[in-house]
Structure 1
Amino acid sequence: MSGASDLHVGREAAALVLTLDRPGSRNALSPALADALTAALREAQQDDAVRSVVLAGAGGDFCAGGDLKAMADSGPRTAEQRLAGMQRYRALAETLLGLDKPLIAAVDGVAFGAGLSLALTADIVLVSRRVRLAMAFQRVGMVPDLGAWYTLPRVVGLQRAKELIFSAREFGADEARQMGLALEVLAPAALLPRALAVAQSFSGASPVAMRLSKRALQASLQSGLCAMLDLEVLSNPVVAASDYVAEAVRRFAHKEPAQFQWPTPPSSNDA
């Protein structure tokens, strides 16, 4: 399948690294690539040895969005064919947003349209200083896909989301960090190493606590206080009874290093 060859699947310790690689198209999403990405994420969800996932792009770009050239070359399609085609992107969005494991996006170069939508599904977004971002759909009369109507307002707020979608304007790394879309801005050479360091740190975290936290945070913006407190009451006895917590308490009592430690941020020379 061509999409499988356009997606490089690698492992760095307990981190799965998924790299979009479509030379000549700036890693634009094709139907086959979307299917390959969905399949790889579903496998990661079921693999207990995978503790985190890094999503990146090859060749200095993250993802240029949908493959408009391929769309133009494909000729006319009926509404039914177009609807069926969009179901694969819905499946990809649901798989990304339903992943129980930490997802880190290492965003370099261009992330336009569906490329930016893809990045927005990540728990942590790291960008390079040279990144170029845009909700570019309006430029071609399209509307956002890959869940961006859901994710973007939750990340940057409703009014800013409207402005980014309506204007389709380009923005860069510093603005992305200021609006909360990016957690860190790094030199291009430091981007993937930092993403891997963050991803690999989760191998020392409790997978049960991580899974419960991700699910609760996903639900938090659509839930009331009582519902979230109920989740706390139900979740804490589950994690408290785990071997992980017993070992963490023992280490604390004996003044030993903790199992989980967030990696030290890069120096100002690398950021």
Structure 2
Amino acid sequence: MPTITQPYQTLLHTCEDGVATITLNRPAQRNALDMVMREELAHAVDAIRRDREVRVVILGGAGGAFCAGGDIGTMDADPSAEHARERMVRLLFTVEALITLDRPVIAKVDGAAYGAGLGLALTADLVLATPRARFCLSFLRLGAIPDCGTLYTLPRIVGLQRAKELAYSAREFNAEEARDMGIVLDILPPERIDAHARQIALAMAGLPAGALSTTKRGLNASLNSDLHTMMELEASGQGVARSSPYHREAVGRFLAKQAPRYQWPRS
């Protein structure tokens, strides 16, 4: 049975077999981010960062929606720039913590991923979606600017011109278009997405933590780095990775013509 790690008001947070699952749980509001959810999400992500037993994270939403963005109805009426900035900074700490987490994050998007909800999805290393998924960089509709990390993540995924088009138009796009742009990895039926996300997570949870962490850090750093720096990272990281028992076992299996221990699940 999964371990329920914390009794939250707006989240479900469980951990089992090295896989932590965070489910946004305000289905009546399509899991829109109010202040309580922001604080609880920050707490859950911080707990995961400190728990070395967690090897992979799955992020999803309850009730047929991922996240409809910020909860406009619960936003503070204080119009000052200082207050708005402070409110934003607290959420961005959590976004940065997810992007820089040294373990893989899988997002499951069913239904709306609007505004900050799209930003949360883009913190993931892999995004799975159902045919019901709908995405939108909706900020300019409200006279706001893109946030929740999207000014950083989106151009790196879809390219600068497409990111500008999505921001300027504030249009909705579906799972197939999101897959074509590289936002979504796979589209799965709603009844299959949970199981497939967990299959991927369990497969990766069995990998050596050091090699997986270094791979993620290297790929994340590559677009902001130079060739020499990346070659140095590969050399030092490979030295550590090839000294692990996992590597020795994998080589032994290969030489003995045995099936590899690691198998990526098919969608």
* Correspondence for 1:228: 230
Among 1, 19, 22, the alignment partner of 2:23 is: 19
How far 1:257 moved relative to its partner?
3.2
Shift of 1:248: 1.5
**Structure-2 separation of matches of 1:18 and 1:177:** 23
Report the AA paired with residue 26 of structure 2.
Answer: R
Normalised by the length of structure 1, the TM-score is: 0.93
Shift of 1:244: 1.6
TM-superposed deviation, 1:177: 0.6
Paired with 1:207 and 1:35, the residues of 2 have a C-alpha distance of 28
Gaps of 5+ in 1: 266-271
Distance 1:170 1:81 in 2: 30
The answer to whether the aligner puts 1:46 opposite 2:50 as a matched pair is: yes
Indicate the residue corresponding to 1:238 in structure 2.
240
Does the residue aligned with 1:80 lie in a helix, a strand or coil?
A: helix
Would the aligned equivalents of 1:103 and 1:122 in 2 still touch at CA under 8 Å? Answer: yes
Alignment check: 8 A CA contact 1:35 1:92 kept: no
Structure 2 CA distance for partners of 1:6 and 1:263, relative to 1, 3 Å:
same
How many Å apart are 1:115 and its aligned residue? 0.2
Greater displacement, 253-262 / 17-26: 253-262
**1-structure distance, mates of 2:147, 2:222:** 22
In structure 2, what is the Cα distance between the partners aligned to 1:254 and 1:36? 49
CA contact (8 A) 2:27 2:64 kept: no
Q: Which residue of 2 aligns with 1:212?
A: 214
Q: 2:112 aligns with which of 105, 110, 113?
A: 110
8 Å CA contact 2:31, 2:65 repeated in 1: yes
Output the amino acid matched with 1:106.
Answer: K
Q: CA deviation at 1:36?
A: 1.5
Q: Which letter maps to 1:133?
A: F
2:83 is matched with 81
Residues in 1 aligned to 2:89 and 2:212: alpha-carbon distance in whole angstroms: 29
1:141 to 143, 147, 158: 143
Q: Which moved more, 1:143-152 or 1:239-248?
A: 239-248
Contact 1:12-1:196 within 8 A present in 2 as well: no
Tell me how far 1:75 sits from its aligned partner: 2.4
CA RMSD of aligned residues (A): 1.5
| Structure 1 residue 242, shift from structure 2 partner | 1.3
Could you report, residue by residue, the CA deviation over 1:69-112 in whole angstroms, capped at 9, with x for unpaired residues? Answer: 112xx323432222211111110111111111110000000010
Query: Aligned to 1:32, which of 26, 29, 36?
Result: 36
1:206-258 Cα distance to aligned partner (Å, 9 max, x none): 21111001111111001111111111111111111112211212222333332
Assess if the C-alpha contact under 8 Å between 2:27 and 2:65 holds in 1: no
Partner deviation per Cα, 1:111-149 (whole Å, 9 max, x = no partner): 100000100110000010011110000110111111100
Unaligned 5+ segments in structure 2 are: 1-6
